[in-house]
Amino acid sequence: MSTKTKEKALRIWRIVKRTLLFLFLFQLFYILLLKWVDPPFTLTQLGSLFTGYGLKRDYVDMKDVSSYARLSFIAAEDQLFPDHNGFDWKSINKAMEYNKKKPNRVKGASTISQQVAKNVFLWQGRSWLRKGLEVYFTFMIELLWDKNRIMEMYLNVSEMGPGIFGIEAAAQNYFKKPAKKLNRQEAAMIAACMPNPKKFTVKPLSRHVASRYPWVMKQMAFLQNDPDIQRILQ
């Protein structure tokens, strides 16, 4: 290899290193910033806007969200949320075994933390690249945020209907009231639309939501006195 070729290769390598360092520092700064500041937008929200579903959202503080709403999503989506470090390994193993047996019917096992990592920092999809990045961002938010901030972010950025993002927008659209005033049944109905709120609609009430929300309410009653969950509900 000639001297000029070596020098060119070194210059390219320096540029690559600087670019990677910049990207790492930028994403670290952004994760830390979002510990206190709500994201201006997410890729999923932009996708909803540009594909014709629209974008309805209204970020609110945790104190402005009914405790029933918080409890309903823990009951429906991630009952071990207060206890795990971002990953429910038992459920992940079960999902992997299920997907091996039935490859045409993919079953997920994402925790609330993983869903926040995906919804805030990444895009929708099932590629290995996205899943790998999801693991990284889940680890980082569990390290740098607390559980209350993760739950607050989840309730603000998750899609809860076609073009409807966050519990406040869902409460206003479905029940004409703020999220702070949602009752147990209303909160359970919204949580029951996950993980496919475009298909499993709250209004009009889909068959899936109608059959699932009573189960969510039973799980809420079972979980509500758990001390670890109570810390998130207060």
Other CB atoms closer than 10 Å to residue 208's CB: what's the count?
14
The yes-or-no verdict on residue 44 having pLDDT over 50 is yes
Compute φ and ψ for 215, nearest 5 degrees: -65, -45
Compute φ and ψ for 26, nearest 5 degrees: -65, -45
Domain boundaries, the chain: 26-233
d(CA 152, CA 200): 23
Residue 209 burial (10 A CB sphere; 0-12, 13-18, 19+): buried
pLDDT at 1: 60
The yes-or-no verdict on residue 100 having pLDDT over 60 is no
26-233 maps to which CATH number? 1.10.3810.10
Q: Calculate mean pLDDT across residues 196-216.
A: 95
d(CA 232, CA 38): 19
The percentage of residues in the chain with a pLDDT greater than 70, rounded to a whole number, is: 91
Which residue is listed with tokens 């320096």? 14
Q: Calculate mean pLDDT across residues 184-211.
A: 95
Q: Structure pTM?
A: 0.87
pLDDT at 75: 96
d(CA 233, CA 120): 22
pLDDT at 97: 54
pLDDT higher at 143 or 123: 143
The yes-or-no verdict on residue 96 having pLDDT over 70 is no
